[in-house]
Amino acid sequence: MVSLPSLMSPSRWLATLLATTSLVSSATAQSPYKIDTDAEIKNTARGMAYDLMLQYKGNQSGEIPGILPGPPTEHKGDYYWWEGGAMMGTYIDYWFLTGDDSYNHVITEGMLHQTGPNQDYMPPNHTASLGNDDQGFWGMSAMLAAENRFPDPPPDQAQWLALAQAVWVTQASPDRHDGTCGGGLRWQVPPTNMGYNYKNTIANACFFDLGARLARYTFNQTYADYAAETFQWLWDVQYIDNKEWKVYDGGHVEKNCTDVNKAQFSYNAALLLHGSAFMYNYTNGSALWKNRVDNLLDGILRDFFSKGAAFELPCEGRQGACTADMLSFKGYVHRWLSTVTKVAPHTSSKILPALRKSAEAAVKQCTGGETGRRCGFYWSEGVYVDPAVDKTSGAGEAMSALAAISSLLIEKTPDLANNHTGTSKGNPLAGTKSRGSVEPLAPITTGDRAGAAILTILLIGAVVSTWGWMSFAD
């Protein structure tokens, strides 16, 4: 019989050994975490937030604020730039849900440090390898800060709403869109990047979601128009299955996007549901958006929660098959679905029980590491699997567990803010300094929050007149 080491590479064999050892030792271990009461949920989330922050080096001397160790292409760590933005959003939600402001200064520092010279989340050291989805995650975290009334930055710094607007403006620019496949954003921004010929769901879902949320926040119809157009494009190219409402990954422009990659990633479906729920809210419960919300939700529960906990369909059945990116997807799913219950309340009866059951599974397997409370990724198995099996340090796993637990408090949170109830200010020049954007508008001064809505309307008016070929009517 052939020995095990001869069938596997040494690194693969070691990872499997570590995972197997952890399974044996964790099978009888009991998690120190409890989530039966709000106090227990907050205490558990506090411990998880602390453990996740141990993975972050950006608040240490000589390190770069806002990013997790990486990128792997430079052998600096397991994580790409965008996942730092996702982690910022996780902590913004953590504060909103628990009231714990211990990390607010770290998050504000990280969010502002990565804005770039034009304050649109296109920092020079990442622009050459920029994907629309990468920038989109940072923009969505800025939008979340505005919605959650996260403490505003100092007046001389970029503001949350303005940063979200800036990302939207750069992505709505004609140089990000073309006629291939009938529309849609490409995955990558620079034409020299591998993947520029790929139009994928996540890039368009980020743009869709940001537009839907800006429409709700600012009450401006043009954001909604762009969002509706983007969703329709995803439907027309059948990245959203027209019968079963499965959400697929993307296609190549040289094939007119007809070679649809049918990999189903949970965050694609969850983000489209999230944006659709905001459109449902903005349109005062229109039948069109309710239908989209309900069908996407049913598809997500069918495809990603059938095992009693969030389950990453493309990779989770094979330990060691998930990438560092995929290991964070469960957290976004929990966060986005919980928010859906706030803007589309009729979904609560389906979403909240599913999230509760998933969170219970997540907590159960948090028995690893020297502390006996480290969390893994394979929740439905009920036992801790060391992140070494997927060759990462475990930041994605920790982020997902934190999101799952803290999101259990969603029913106790206030309504999300808008231009009337929030404090974040918009900026009519946001995003206009970057390549391909509209010409800067003349500055208009204002002294109150209402001015932000006016400035938004003026900006969008300029965008529409400049990019008239992209405009359309419902």
112, 115, 120, 126 alpha-carbon torsion, rounded to 10°: -160
Question: What are the start-end ranges of the H helices in 114-200?
Answer: 124-127, 132-147, 160-172
For residue 200, give the 3-state DSSP assignment: strand
Q: To the nearest whole percent, how much of the chain has pLDDT over 70?
A: 86
Q: Cα(421)–Cα(419) distance, rounded to whole angstroms?
A: 6
Structure tokens at 170: 């750069």
Average pLDDT over residues 421-433: 92
Q: Cα(180)–Cα(255) distance, rounded to whole angstroms?
A: 9
Residue 435: per-residue pLDDT = 56
Q: Cα(271)–Cα(209) distance, rounded to whole angstroms?
A: 7
Residue 128: per-residue pLDDT = 84
pLDDT band at 127 (very low <50, low <70, confident <90, very high): confident
| CB proximity list for 146: less than 8 A, separation 6 or greater | 160, 161, 164, 217, 417, 422, 424
Q: Cα(265)–Cα(32) distance, rounded to whole angstroms?
A: 31
What is the residue range of 143's domain? 4-470
CA atoms within 13 A on the CB side of 423: 9
Q: To the nearest whole percent, how much of the chain has pLDDT over 90?
A: 81
Is residue 444 over pLDDT 80? no
Average pLDDT over residues 326-336: 98
- Stated length of the chain: 474
Residue 360: per-residue pLDDT = 98
Encode pLDDT of 240-262 as tens digits: 999 999 999 999 999 999 999 99
Instruction: Tell whether the torsion through CA atoms of 197, 322, 246 and 206 is positive or negative.
Output: negative
Is residue 170 over pLDDT 80? yes
Is residue 419 over pLDDT 70? yes
State how many domains the chain has.
Answer: 1
Q: Which residues of 43-80 are buried (b: 16+ CB within 10 A; e: fewer)?
A: bbbbbbbebbbebbbbeeeeebbbbbbbbeeeeebbbb
Answer whether 139's CB lies under 8 Å from 210's CB. yes
Angle at CA of residue 47, ends 50 and 111, nearest 5°: 35
CATH number of the domain to which 443 belongs: 1.50.10.20
Helix axes of 329-343 and 266-282: crossing angle, nearest 10 degrees: 20
Is residue 73 over pLDDT 60? yes
Residue 152's Cβ-count burial label (10 Å; 0-12, 13-18, 19+) is: middle
Residue 259: per-residue pLDDT = 98
